[in-house]
Homo-oligomer: A and B are copies of this chain.
Amino acid sequence: MSLVQEIVDVTLPNKKYQILIGPGLHQSLPDHMHSLQGEHVILITDDKVAGFWLKPFASQMSNIVSRLDEIVVREGEPSKSVETCNQLWQKMLEMGADRRTIVVALGGGVVGDLAGFLAASFARGIRFVQIPTSLLAQVDSSVGGKVGINLPQSKNMVGAFWQPESVIIDPLVLQTLDEPNFRAGMAEVIKYGLIMDDEFFHFLKSSVDPIRGRDPQILAKVIAWCCRCKAQVVEEDEKETSGRRVILNYGHTYGHAIENVFGYGTFLHGEAIAIGMTCAARLAMELGMVDSDFLKSQTELFLEFGLPVECPENRHDELLDAMKRDKKVAAGKLSLILPTRIGNVVSMAAPSDEKIRNSLVN
């Protein structure tokens, strides 16, 4: 019996791969990870995920690989550093990694970004498989090929576009995800509905209870829907050159500024993004692009999943400055992604500072 419930095909100019999604997939890895057969695999995870999931995944993989090495990094953003990278490049070398070695990332966004960049850069690029274990990673960071690490002054400043060989998603692993991170992941889930798919938005609205209960079948459906949305955008604009990919940044210019000003850790990324989308919707309303029903509808769904929708402090000038420093500012001009209706957003030049400042408060 195959445990694959959903398959998402990702077709890029130079790479085609599949995202396999199914509750319980981790119990039948050998059936779904043929590319690892007989190979040297380096499994990279963090100490939090390792406690729950390293053994189940590693024991399955060890049945098919020729050699399995494990690297466990500390949980959290600081592991996405040049220092960690440097240590791990050397560790990979000590483990006998060569051009045929395959890196498997088992973890959330941090592990995926770090392991992906190690794979992209070791021996000028080796193969890479993603097994995302957080909701955020399953619906966002594991699709699209963005990998990278942080510089002290700037997140994700060093990296590559490096596509995986395949992505394996088991919604059962979300059973061990803490509530704040599950919630934060839902912000990105809802985002797909808002930016490109009203049908999905309404599906989420009608499925609040089973999603909150982490029903594996419903989650598989939700995750697959998100992956299809993201894959579609990425297929149109793999390397963020045509402009299509910017729609994924709905709420992100505000969100990054919030993370930046209030300090990483005060809000989870998804929480900051939920606040950011709320501000963006408020601005769109102020500009006459959407009516108050839009803002109400969006806000209600955020609140159903326990997401914050308000900036807690009065630091508007700092937030505005941080927004203007965002790395998506091209040639000094700030652009924002704003909604026109549920299921559609547009990129536009920012209006006056005054208007942006107003959008920060309810």
B123 touches A89 (CB 8 A): no
**A13-B14, A100-B330 as given contacts; A157 in contact with B82, CB under 8 Å:** no
* Identical chains in the assembly: 2
Residues in chain B near residue A85, CB distance under 8 A: 82
**A82-B89, A93-B153, A151-B93 as given contacts; A158 in contact with B100, CB under 8 Å:** no
Report the Cα distance A100→B90, complex, angstroms: 32
Partner of A93, one of B125, B154, B239: B154
B14 touches A157 (CB 8 A): no
B120 touches A90 (CB 8 A): no
Partner of A151, one of B14, B89, B158: B89
Residues in chain B near residue A86, CB distance under 8 A: 82, 86
Interface assignment of A228: CB less than 8 Å from any CB of chain B: no
B82 touches A121 (CB 8 A): no
Residues in chain B near residue A158, CB distance under 8 A: 89, 121-122
Question: Could you pull out 24 A-B pairs where Cβ atoms are within 8 angstroms?
Answer: A82-B85, A86-B86, A89-B151, A89-B157, A89-B158, A90-B151, A90-B152, A93-B153, A93-B154, A93-B157, A98-B327, A98-B330, A99-B327, A99-B330, A121-B159, A123-B159, A124-B146, A124-B148, A124-B160, A124-B239, A125-B160, A125-B161, A125-B239, A160-B160
Known: A82-B86, A123-B159, A125-B161. 6 other contacts (CB 8 A): A82-B85, A86-B86, A90-B151, A99-B327, A121-B121, A125-B239
